[in-house]
């Protein structure tokens, strides 16, 4: 075994040389960071990195190790970039492209908040829970109408559903968040208790059709499976309730909130018909401009990456490396590029946290398209309506 010991001793000697040279290299890397700071240069210079790696690979004598050497050099480049960011992190203005206005949401008697649907919708309920009764409200017909109103300065904020605990993300809203350059400034989680609503003379036997938003129908599928009613998708739960009122027919019913039934003077045939009794919807507060204060503890981003092996891993690894807790990831197709996707990620943190800033800058370096959607206060628990 003496031969093995000698070999290991040789490895130790080589490792010691590598460690010494690595430390010398890192000292030089920091000198480069000082220069970049002084001259207001970006940390990442991808063209320079590619040239350095290509130059070193051309000098390899043992070509059988070429792939391993390339991997080693890429790791060294990555470590060097992280070291430069840590060195520069104190100089916020020069080192971070993610600076948000340091202030809280502004609410006055003239503030106008929009929501999709009609009076009695869950979005309207979420609006009042978040903003109270001190604001003016404006209802719009479609989700995109809300973004258009915001774009045209007709509303100051919008309240819009993004995700349900039973049926997942509201995909149309995800697409709109990417299409329009607005910011998430808050969120509200509302426990959804669906009711079966009909006219005063209606019974379970007279009903032949049930109207609701597709997610409302899906969330009550177990209850609906007990009947032979035709399920009709509609634009909004409250709109469905309004339709029942306008029709005055005993043959149709709607799935919506008890509050909507009260508003439109209709009868609740059965309450809490959703399959998941903890059924909860998360609503976003969107604004034309971002806001941040020390209470903000959740961040949302959207990005696209190359369609190649390891590209998503090369983004997600920065969450673990910087001890940042990822909460959710959602993918959506890029319509004009078949089989390519944008990714939406929610994670915990405040934009002023050094590790969060390093993670964001590193992720941005490894994406083709990147946008910070917002840094806002995470909803804790839910409101039971």
Q: Report the candidate in 194, 121, 108, 215 with the shortest Cα–Cα distance to residue 157.
A: 108
The whole-angstrom separation of Cα 334 and Cα 340 is 6
| 341, burial (CB in 10 Å: exposed 0-12, middle 13-18, buried 19+) | middle
- Please report the beta strands in the chain, taking only residues with DSSP state E, as ranges in sequence order: 112-116, 136-140, 157-164, 168-169, 183-191, 195-198, 209-212, 230-233, 252-256, 267-270, 280-287, 298-304, 326-333, 341-348, 369-376, 383-384
319 is catalytic: no
Beta strands 112-116; 136-140: pairing state: parallel
The residue annotated as part of the active site, out of 147, 283, 303, 319, is 283
CB 280 within 8 A of CB 189: yes
The residue annotated as part of the active site, out of 235, 281, 352, 367, is 281
283 is catalytic: yes
Maximum distance among all alpha carbons in the chain?
A: 95
Work out the angle between the directed axes of helices 66-88 and 2-38 (0-180°, nearest 10): 40
Q: Which residues are designated catalytic?
A: 281, 283
């Amino acid at each position: 075994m003496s031969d093995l010991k000698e070999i290991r001793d040789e490895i130790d000697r080589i490792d010691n040389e590598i460690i010494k040279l690595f430390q010398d290299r890192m000292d030089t890397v920091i000198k480069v960071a000082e220069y970049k700071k002084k001259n207001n240069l970006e940390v990442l210079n991808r063209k320079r990195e590619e040239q350095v790696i290509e130059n070193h690979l051309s000098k390899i004598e043992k070509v059988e190790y070429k792939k391993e050497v390339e991997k080693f050099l890429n790791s060294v480049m990555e470590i060097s970039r992280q070291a430069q960011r840590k060195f520069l992190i104190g100089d916020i203005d020069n080192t971070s492209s993610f600076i948000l206005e340091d202030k809280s949401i502004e609410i006055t008697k003239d503030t106008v908040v929009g929501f999709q649907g009609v009076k009695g919708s869950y979005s309207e309920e979420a609006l009042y829970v978040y903003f109270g009764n001190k604001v003016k409200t404006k209802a719009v017909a479609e989700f995109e109408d809300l973004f258009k109103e915001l774009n045209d300065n007709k509303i100051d904020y919008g309240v819009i559903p993004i995700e349900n605990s039973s049926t997942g993300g509201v995909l149309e809203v995800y697409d709109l968040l990417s299409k329009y350059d607005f910011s998430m400034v808050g969120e509200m989680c509302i426990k959804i208790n669906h009711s079966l609503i009909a006219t005063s003379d209606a019974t379970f036997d007279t009903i032949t059709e049930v109207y609701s938003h597709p997610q409302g129908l899906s969330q009550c599928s177990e209850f609906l499976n007990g009947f032979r009613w035709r399920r009709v998708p509609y634009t909004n739960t409250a709109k469905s309730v309004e339709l029942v009122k306008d029709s005055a027919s005993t043959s149709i019913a709607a799935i919506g909130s008890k509050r909507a039934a009260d508003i439109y003077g209709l009868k609740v045939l059965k309450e809490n018909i959703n399959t998941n009794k903890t059924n909860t919807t998360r609503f976003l507060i969107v604004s034309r401009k971002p806001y941040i204060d020390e209470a903000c503890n959740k961040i949302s981003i959207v990005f696209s990456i190359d369609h190649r092996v390891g590209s998503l891993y090369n983004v997600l690894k920065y969450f673990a490396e910087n001890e940042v807790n990822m909460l959710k990831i959602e993918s959506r197709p890029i319509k004009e590029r078949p089989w390519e996707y944008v990714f939406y990620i929610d994670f915990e943190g405040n934009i002023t946290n050094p590790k969060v800033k390093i993670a964001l800058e590193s992720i941005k370096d490894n994406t083709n398209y990147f946008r910070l959607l917002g840094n806002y206060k995470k909803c804790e628990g839910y409101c039971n309506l």
